[in-house]
C-alpha cells in the first residue's frame, strides 16, 4: 500500500527552493535505486522523493508572485542552473508580507510585488500543508518568526533552514510543544558542507593524537543569500559556525569560522577556505590549507529532503516541540550540540524505529 504524500509549503522561492523543486521532479522520475546518485537516503522511513508534494509557496518578488512555481524558481534574482525542465505544478506563488525580508544591500536586487498579501494560514489550510519549510534570507528574523507563527496557526510542523533561532529557542519550542506540532532547525547543513568537512577533519586529526592549535574556515559567496549574510547576519553566522566547529574538539583551541565577503559574479557558488595548524610527534608542527568550491542551492537538497521526510515521521508519531534527532542531524545550531557520531546515531535510530513500526 503506497504511503500518502508529504504536503509541504515553501516560504521563499529562492535558490534553495529552485534546487528542491527541480530535485523532487528529477528524483521522482527515477525507479532504479542505482540511479539515485546525489541522495544520502533514496528511501527514508519508507518515503521516497516522489512522496513529497509542494502544495503552497510564498515570496515577495514581483517576478515570482502570481506565477506557477515551475516558472518562478527560474526567475531573477535566482541563479541556480536549470538542471531539469519542470512541468507546470499548479501551485501559484502567493505574496507574503515583506517585514524584514529585504535588506539594504539586496533592495536593488529584489522587486517587491505590489500584489496584496494573502492570508498565509488560510492558504496553508486550504492546500492541506503539513510542513512549512522556511527558506527566507538569513537576515529575515522577524519574517521567519512570523511564518513560524503562521505554521502554528495552520497546524503545521515547521522547518527552519535559516540561522534565526527558532528550534533552538526555548520559547518557540514550548509554543510548538503546546500546539502538539514538531519543530526542527536551525541553519540547515549542506550536503558537501564546509562546516561538516571542517569538523570531520578536526575530529580525525584529534583521534590520531594530533593537537590542533589554531584553525579557521572562511566562506566567500555570490547570490542574494550571500549578500544578505554579508550585510545582516555575518556576526550571527560566525558565532553559529564557530560554535559548531569548536564542539568537534575535545580540548580548547583557537577557532574561527564564518562568512567573510560577497562576490557578485560567483552567483550561487561559494568558495570555502580552511586553515589548520597543529602539533604531533615531539612537538613537530604541521599546517593544512584547503579550498572547497560548491553551489549553494543544490547543496541543500539532500539534507532538506531527509529533513522533510523525517518531520513527516515525527508527525505520524505525534511528536511535539523541537525534535532533537532531526535537529542535531541536519542543522548547525540545534537546541543541543552533539558530536557528529552521536548525531548520526540517534537520527538513524529515529528512522529505524519508523521502519520497524511499519
pLDDT digits (tens, 9 = 90+) for 24-47: 999 999 988 778 999 999 999 999
Residues 114 and 201 in one domain: no
Q: Is residue 79 part of a domain?
A: yes
Whether 71 and 21 have beta carbons less than 8 Å apart is answered as: no
**What distance separates the 2 farthest-apart alpha carbons in the chain?**
69
Run of H or E residues at 3: none
- Adjacent-strand bridge partners of 330: none
Of 258, 279, 295, at which residue does a domain stop?
Answer: 295
Q: Is the pLDDT of residue 205 over 50?
A: yes
The CATH number linked to 80 is: 3.40.50.720
Residues 251 and 144 in one domain: no
Residues 184 and 46 in one domain: yes
Q: Domains in the chain: how many in total?
A: 2
pLDDT digits (tens, 9 = 90+) for 173-188: 999 999 999 999 999 9
Q: Is the peptide bond before 81 cis (omega within 30 degrees of 0)?
A: no
pLDDT digits (tens, 9 = 90+) for 72-127: 999 999 999 999 999 999 999 999 999 999 988 888 889 999 999 999 999 999 99
pLDDT digits (tens, 9 = 90+) for 162-171: 999 999 999 9
Residues 352 and 317 in one domain: yes
Cα–Cα distance for residue pair 190/303, rounded to 1 Å: 7
293 Cβ contact partners less than 8 Å away, ≥ 6 residues apart = 269, 270, 271, 272
pLDDT of residue 358: 45
Residues 64 and 170 in one domain: yes
Residue 1: which pLDDT band, with cuts at 50, 70 and 90?
Answer: very low
The CATH number linked to 214 is: 3.30.360.10
Whether 158 and 300 have beta carbons less than 8 Å apart is answered as: no
Residues 54 and 177 in one domain: yes
Cα–Cα distance for residue pair 253/243, rounded to 1 Å: 12
Q: Is residue 167 part of a domain?
A: yes
Of 278, 295, 312, at which residue does a domain stop?
Answer: 295
Going by their DSSP bridges, the two strands 269-279 and 211-221 should be labelled as antiparallel
Run of H or E residues at 157: strand 157-160
Residues 36 and 178 in one domain: yes
pLDDT digits (tens, 9 = 90+) for 241-298: 999 899 899 999 999 999 888 899 999 899 999 999 999 999 999 999 999 999 989 9
Residues 151 and 289 in one domain: no
Residues 35 and 178 in one domain: yes
Domain range enclosing 91 = 6-189+298-357
Whether 284 and 262 have beta carbons less than 8 Å apart is answered as: no
Q: Is residue 335 part of a domain?
A: yes
94 Cβ contact partners less than 8 Å away, ≥ 6 residues apart = 56, 57, 58, 59, 65, 118, 120, 123
Q: Is residue 351 part of a domain?
A: yes
Residues 69 and 132 in one domain: yes
Residues 211 and 134 in one domain: no
318 Cβ contact partners less than 8 Å away, ≥ 6 residues apart = 180
Residues 106 and 248 in one domain: no
Q: Is residue 30 part of a domain?
A: yes
Of 275, 295, 315, at which residue does a domain stop?
Answer: 295
Run of H or E residues at 88: none
DSSP three-state, residue 200: helix
Going by their DSSP bridges, the two strands 182-184 and 157-160 should be labelled as parallel
Q: Is residue 1 part of a domain?
A: no
Amino acid at each position: 500500500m503506497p504511503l500518502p504524500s508529504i504536503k509541504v509549503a515553501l516560504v521563499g522561492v529562492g535558490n534553495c527552493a529552485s534546487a528542491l523543486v527541480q530535485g523532487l521532479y528529477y528524483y521522482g522520475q527515477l525507479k532504479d535505486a542505482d540511479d539515485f546518485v546525489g541522495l544520502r537516503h533514496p528511501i527514508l522511513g519508507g518515503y521516497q522523493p516522489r512522496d513529497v508534494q509542494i502544495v503552497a509557496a510564498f515570496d515577495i518578488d514581483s517576478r515570482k508572485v502570481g506565477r506557477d512555481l515551475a516558472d518562478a524558481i527560474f526567475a531573477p534574482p535566482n541563479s541556480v542552473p536549470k538542471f531539469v525542465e519542470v512541468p507546470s505544478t499548479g501551485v501559484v506563488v502567493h505574496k507574503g508580507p515583506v517585514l524584514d525580508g529585504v535588506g539594504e544591500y539586496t533592495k536593488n536586487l529584489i522587486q517587491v510585488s505590489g500584489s496584496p498579501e494573502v492570508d498565509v494560514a488560510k492558504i496553508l489550510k486550504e492546500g492541506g500543508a503539513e510542513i512549512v519549510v522556511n527558506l527566507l534570507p538569513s537576515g529575515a528574523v522577524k519574517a521567519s518568526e512570523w511564518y513560524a507563527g503562521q505554521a502554528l496557526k495552520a497546524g503545521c510542523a515547521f522547518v527552519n533552514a535559516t540561522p534565526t533561532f527558532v528550534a533552538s529557542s526555548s520559547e518557540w519550542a514550548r509554543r510548538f510543544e503546546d500546539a502538539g506540532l514538531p519543530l526542527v532547525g536551525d541553519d540547515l547543513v549542506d550536503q558537501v558542507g564546509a562546516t561538516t568537512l571542517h569538523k570531520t577533519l578536526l575530529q580525525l586529526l584529534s583521534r590520531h593524537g594530533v593537537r590542533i592549535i589554531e584553525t579557521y574556515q572562511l566562506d566567500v559567496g555570490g547570490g542574494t543569500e550571500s549578500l544578505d549574510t554579508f550585510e545582516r547576519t555575518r556576526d550571527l553566522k560566525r558565532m553559529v559556525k564557530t560554535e559548531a566547529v569548536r564542539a568537534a574538539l575535545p580540548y580548547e583551541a583557537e577557532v574561527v569560522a564564518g562568512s567573510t565577503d560577497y562576490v557578485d559574479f560567483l552567483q550561487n557558488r561559494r568558495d570555502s577556505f580552511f586553515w589548520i595548524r597543529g602539533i604531533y610527534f615531539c612537538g613537530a608542527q604541521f599546517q593544512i590549507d584547503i579550498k572547497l568550491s560548491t553551489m549553494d542551492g543544490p547543496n541543500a537538497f539532500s539534507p532538506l529532503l531527509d529533513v522533510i521526510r523525517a518531520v513527516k515521521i515525527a508527525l505520524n508519531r505525534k511528536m511535539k516541540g523541537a525534535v532533537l534527532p532531526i535537529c542535531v542531524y541536519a542543522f548547525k545550531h540545534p537546541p543541543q550540540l552533539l558530536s557528529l557520531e552521536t548525531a548520526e546515531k540517534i537520527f538513524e535510530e529515529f528512522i529505524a524505529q519508523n521502519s520497524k513500526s511499519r
